[in-house]
Structure 1
Amino acid sequence: MSAATNRTRDTSGLGVARAVAFVSPALLLIGLFLVFPALWTIYIGLTNYTLTGPASVAPAFVGLENFLGALDDALFGNALWLTLVFVLGSAVLGQNLLGFGLAWVLRSAKPVVRRVVEALVLLAWILPSVVVAYLWTAVLDRDGGTLNALLGNESTAWLVEYPMASLIVFNTWRGTAFSMMLYSSALAAVPPSQLETARTVGASGWQTVRDIVFPHIRGHVLTNTLLISLWTANDFTPFLLTAGGPNHESETLPVFIYQQAITNGELGYSAAISFLLLIVNLVVALLYLLLLRRRS
């Protein structure tokens, strides 16, 4: 490669050595906090490492035994299925639809009303997980819970009888703020003239969204769905509400990994499951990126 070509590609004029020096702190942080933990998790997943006992001091290499054991574990399959239900119900459908609905309605609302609603939705998002879990436990509690008091019903233990449904509603309520803000920004970029034309010709609200709005915000929809899906799949907050119970009926993968690592002390097994969850996240991310590439 000629020197002229090198100078053409080096638009900043820093040179290779200086460029590497500038990015090395970021690369060091990425390697320290992302790459190394991932590699360490893979290594632990290949051993019988435990929290206590002889294997905690001198773990033995077991190869793919933990991974094969996970694929044959009925509880792992149950956790994987519940995670899928949790993501589809509370993220792909719940947060997406509610976030877009709020953004669509608030765009024409009075400024005072819009600010109040946005503040309340954001408050649910920024409060610490422990706080919102406590609040929802108080709402859904059978004895003296707010929901039962409003319904005049003192016999329904929502977190016990309907654990997954309760978690889906809870996570939708809590995580909608991000979708609302993203869609509010996206809707601001839709040409007002096209919306006015649709209104003039008598298009319904659904027709306007389908034919005018969605083509403009399709990329935002895919980006939002990717982010909230990954966040929800790795969310540990359900543990604060149900601890995976009753009888593993709300045990999503993050909760299952915690139970295996801390409660059962099987660190090697839990590390293998963590790596499998990472693979699932990568597959989902690649799928969305493929959809974005097709759109472009």
Structure 2
Amino acid sequence: MKSFSLLSRGTGVAFLAPAGLLIGAFVIAPFFWVIFVSFTNRSLLGRTAVDPDFVGLANYFSLFDAATFFTRGEFGSSLILTIQFVLLSAVVGQAALGMLLAWMLQSVPKSLKHLTETVAIGAWILPEVVIAFAWFAFLDYENGTLNMIMEALGFPRGDWLLSFPFWAIVVFNTWRGTAFSMMLFNSAFSSIPPSYFQAADVAGASSWQKFRDIGFPLIRGHVVTDLILITMWSFNVFTPFLLTSGGPSYRTEILPIYTYRIAFRDFDFGKGAAVGVVVMLINLVFALFYLWVMRRRAKGVAA
């Protein structure tokens, strides 16, 4: 009679089977379904909702049509807008501001540092919907907190979501994601041996010189990790929809919002699925680049 062992291969498969079924049902199957739908003219209403026709690459050709590619409200315009949004809010905003705050935390009292970390974590774990509606109330023209502050200081009111919608979502996403970058860089700076900075203090180095010659070179790998992660997150973020709904006049319609409009407002599931496939391919490029950087870093550490 065979003895039962928790370390046997069969036991491992049994424990992994439920997770595998869930992944297959909610990740793998929808992935291939979206690819299939992107080659059809499936819609939410009408005959094609039940019996769609196979249209080949027609949906992809419509996305990359040179005649309309750069027209506002089309795929090309949304792609360019998304790239600008990611560069400004993630690379320039979250990464740079997060690093600056993390570096400043290295020279403050521990009690203030712990308080700042607690507040940052609190801001990071709040649901995005709550954050979006809080920012909507902050930027509202009639009763927004920002306009009340402007009036108290003697400045005129501003219709921020109508006059500066793109910059509004850039600032919103920067504020939303800076906490993550700050915490990551703070941990990276804290892992550097204090003796390095003490020796620099003895030599009379300024804060900028210590950052340039000691801090930044030693956390360069963390910088790459942070940039890739926040780039992927910002590329797929949908929360700005709660502030502007993609408007006015498609001026804030980044790719996730564009996909939502095509699929669930225009009911063109086929074209919406094609957009989703293109976005997945872009994310795949980011992921492969991330793995390549991590492998190079691992080889450098091993060497």
Match of 2:192 among 190, 193, 198: 190
Aligned to 1:30: 23
Q: Is the 8 A contact 1:142 1:154 kept in 2?
A: no
- Mark the runs of 5 or more structure 1 residues left unpaired by the alignment: 1-12
Aligned to 1:10: none
For structure 1, which segment, 213-222 or 57-66, has the greater mean C-alpha deviation from structure 2 after superposition?
Answer: 213-222
Instruction: Please report the TM-score for the alignment, with normalisation by the length of structure 1.
Output: 0.89
Residue-by-residue CA offset, 1:182-203 (whole Å, 9 max, x unaligned): 1121111111111111222222
> How far is 1:134 from its partner?
1.7
Aligned to 1:207: 209
Residue-by-residue CA offset, 1:92-111 (whole Å, 9 max, x unaligned): 22111121222222233223
| CA distance, structure 2, for counterparts of residue 113 and residue 81 of structure 1 | 41
> How far is 1:146 from its partner?
1.9
Amino acid at match of 1:274: G
Match of 1:49 among 35, 42, 45: 42
| CA distance, structure 1, for counterparts of residue 18 and residue 203 of structure 2 | 57
For structure 1, which segment, 118-127 or 96-105, has the greater mean C-alpha deviation from structure 2 after superposition?
Answer: 118-127
For structure 1, which segment, 275-284 or 221-230, has the greater mean C-alpha deviation from structure 2 after superposition?
Answer: 221-230
> How far is 1:127 from its partner?
2.1
Amino acid at match of 2:164: Y
Q: Is the 8 A contact 2:95 2:181 kept in 1?
A: yes
| CA distance, structure 2, for counterparts of residue 111 and residue 192 of structure 1 | 15
Instruction: Please report the TM-score for the alignment, with normalisation by the length of structure 2.
Output: 0.87
Q: What SS does the aligned partner of 2:264 have?
A: helix
Aligned to 2:3: none
Residue-by-residue CA offset, 1:6-52 (whole Å, 9 max, x unaligned): xxxxxxx9565555445444333322222111111101111101011
Amino acid at match of 2:270: G
Q: Is the 8 A contact 1:124 1:173 kept in 2?
A: no
For structure 1, which segment, 281-290 or 263-272, has the greater mean C-alpha deviation from structure 2 after superposition?
Answer: 281-290
Identity of aligned residues (%): 47
Aligned to 1:61: 54
Aligned to 1:253: 255
| CA distance, structure 1, for counterparts of residue 156 and residue 269 of structure 2 | 41
Q: Is the 8 A contact 2:150 2:157 kept in 1?
A: no
Are residues 1:141 and 2:140 paired? yes
Amino acid at match of 1:263: R
Q: Is the 8 A contact 2:141 2:157 kept in 1?
A: yes
Which residues in structure 2 correspond to 1:90-129 (within 5 Å)?
A: 90-129=89-128
- Mark the runs of 5 or more structure 2 residues left unpaired by the alignment: 1-5
| CA distance, structure 1, for counterparts of residue 296 and residue 213 of structure 2 | 19
Aligned to 1:169: 171
| CA distance, structure 2, for counterparts of residue 52 and residue 86 of structure 1 | 33
Q: Is the 8 A contact 1:42 1:272 kept in 2?
A: yes
Aligned to 1:159: 161
| CA distance, structure 1, for counterparts of residue 201 and residue 293 of structure 2 | 31
Match of 2:182 among 175, 180, 183: 180
Aligned to 1:8: none
Residue-by-residue CA offset, 1:269-291 (whole Å, 9 max, x unaligned): 10110110010011122223323
Aligned to 2:268: 266
Q: What SS does the aligned partner of 1:250 have?
A: coil
| CA distance, structure 2, for counterparts of residue 83 and residue 139 of structure 1 | 24
Relative to structure 1, is the Cα distance of residues 89 and 265 closer, same or farther in structure 2, using a 3 angstrom cutoff? Answer: same
Amino acid at match of 1:144: N
| CA distance, structure 2, for counterparts of residue 23 and residue 289 of structure 1 | 25
Relative to structure 1, is the Cα distance of residues 204 and 289 closer, same or farther in structure 2, using a 3 angstrom cutoff? Answer: farther
